[in-house]
Structure 1
Amino acid sequence: MSKTEQSRQKKLAKKRKKEVAKRKQLAAEKNAMKSIVGQISAAQRAPIIGCYVANGLLDNERSDEIGGVTVGRPLPDGRVVFVCFLVDKACLGVKDAFARLVTPQQFSEQVSQFSSRDPMTKCDPTLAKKLVTDAVDWAGRFGLKPMGDYQRVSRIWQDVDETACEQEFLFGRDGVPCYIQGPNDSPELVHRVMNTIGRHLGDGQMPILVTDDDIEAMEDWEEDDEDYPGDEQRNLRLDQPE
């Protein structure tokens, strides 16, 4: 084989190697886009297009509020990674977290739908992230970890510096966790949460539990004019008799 032919073969081999590497890279990127982690990673290349917080979460006079924080970031193909955190300022920190892949129109519709049930305000991502991370840190003091898919979807704003926000947020009732039982919260979950909190509270402190029965009683009380007994009857551990 002549030197010219050898040179040509080397160039062809080098070209084929580059083509194979490129195909592998494209295949890897395509496979990555099938997972939420890959979608969020791709979305991080673009700026956040919308960040919204439930109004009640921004009111420190309502430190036991539960509400949503939503974030949207576009993909190169035009779709939007939509992430939602359900923030529980009363007790759990983050009660749920999930991500969806939607169109820009669906993103707007989803925000409008959430806001129709619980009014939301568009805000700077630094404020929203600080609210969420402060809630997680506060709940963590009582042994509670963020729920849902928090660890994965929180990467949506990995590049956002929440320390740039100076706003402070209050949590719990006078700083004490108040677990407000949701309609889908199982007795096992309630038991586990209350006992976890109880093990981390100081001497003489007890977690507060508000059950479905309490909520119904408060609703009935609002219709009547009788004195409502209040939370003092619910300051108990579930492993202790009432």
Structure 2
Amino acid sequence: MAKNMAHRRYQKAARRKAVLAERRRIAVLDMSLPARIRRAAAGPFRHCLLQEGLFESGVARLVVVRGAPGETMLCSFLLDAFCLGVKDVDAQAVIPDEAAQVIEAMSDDAPFRAVRPAYACKLVRDLIAWAGSIGFPPPPLLAAAQQIFGGVNPDSCADVFTFGRAGRPTYVPGPADTLAMTNDRLRQLRERLGKDGFDFMVMMPSGLRLEVELADDETDDVFDIQAAAQRGCVSAPSRHSA
């Protein structure tokens, strides 16, 4: 009898332990970034802003702030409309005053304009698909961040987007792009599109963009153009670009 009672007590304790573990697991999941974004997506849009010049310069940031007080999220999408698609994503919980400060700091690079949520949602969706078609997948956090558009129908936006520079994929290395990253992306573009299927531009220290004609071979010297540009010269034929 005593043995059976001890066994029942053991089973009861084990069940209690399992229930507590499951509650802790749910609590952790509930505080995860995707869960917080989903909850914020049930609230109103507070800001939906796109930096000016995306289709002229190729790069701009899209910022979406949404949620009820105490459950507001800011999702920032760094867009490369010339080549890489959604290049980077950031998501953070904010209060309204913090959101305004973050947006103000970002506006130092380029001013923002308000866009409709359907426009923003469609822009991100279509840019992801286009960049994927030339071999550039979105960053891992994107799937979670996209949930900020919950309930928005992108097809309600009639705008049609044309990506690439004058319709051609054009890779312009950013300040954070290392030589290794640049080399890998150029090789990938060559393999996917062929040497003449894309353009390559570098940014000179003066801010001038230089379009570079890559050589026929794929030696490391060819892919050292970015470093040469940072020194104020280039190691391959090039021409100025507006």
- Tell me, yes or no, whether TM beats 0.5: yes
Unaligned ranges ≥5, structure 2: 1-18, 223-235, 237-242
Structure 1 pair 236–47 and aligned structure 2 pair: CA distance change class (3 A) = farther
Report the equivalent of 2:65: 72
Report the equivalent of 1:17: none
RMSD: 2.8
Matches of 1:48 and 1:136, distance apart in 2: 22
Matches of 1:236 and 1:157, distance apart in 2: 43
TM-score (norm 2): 0.73
Q: Return the offset for 1:139.
A: 1.1
Report the equivalent of 1:234: 213
Structure 1 pair 126–178 and aligned structure 2 pair: CA distance change class (3 A) = same
Unaligned ranges ≥5, structure 1: 1-20, 220-227
Report the equivalent of 2:205: 216
Deviations 1:85-121 (A, max 9, x none): 0000111011101101111110111112222331001
Structure in which a larger fraction of residues adopt strand: 2
Q: Return the offset for 1:29.
A: 5.5
| 1:88 maps to amino acid | D
The alignment covers a number of residue pairs equal to 204
| 1:192 maps to amino acid | D
| 1:145 maps to amino acid | P
TM-score (norm 1): 0.73
Q: Return the offset for 1:199.
A: 2.0
Matches of 1:69 and 1:154, distance apart in 2: 12
Matched, 1:42 2:32: no
Report the equivalent of 1:7: none
CA contact (8 A) 1:144 1:197 kept: no
Per chain length, whose mean CA-contact separation is higher, i.e. which structure has more relative contact order (CA < 8 Å, sep 6+)? 1
| 1:143 maps to amino acid | G
Report the equivalent of 1:53: 50
CA contact (8 A) 2:58 2:165 kept: no
Report the equivalent of 1:190: 182
1:1-242 equivalences in 2 (<5 Å) = 30-57=27-54, 60=55, 62=56, 64-75=57-68, 78-147=70-139, 149-201=141-193, 205-212=196-203, 215-216=204-205, 219=208, 231=211, 233-235=212-214, 239-240=218-219, 241=222
Matches of 1:69 and 1:236, distance apart in 2: 35
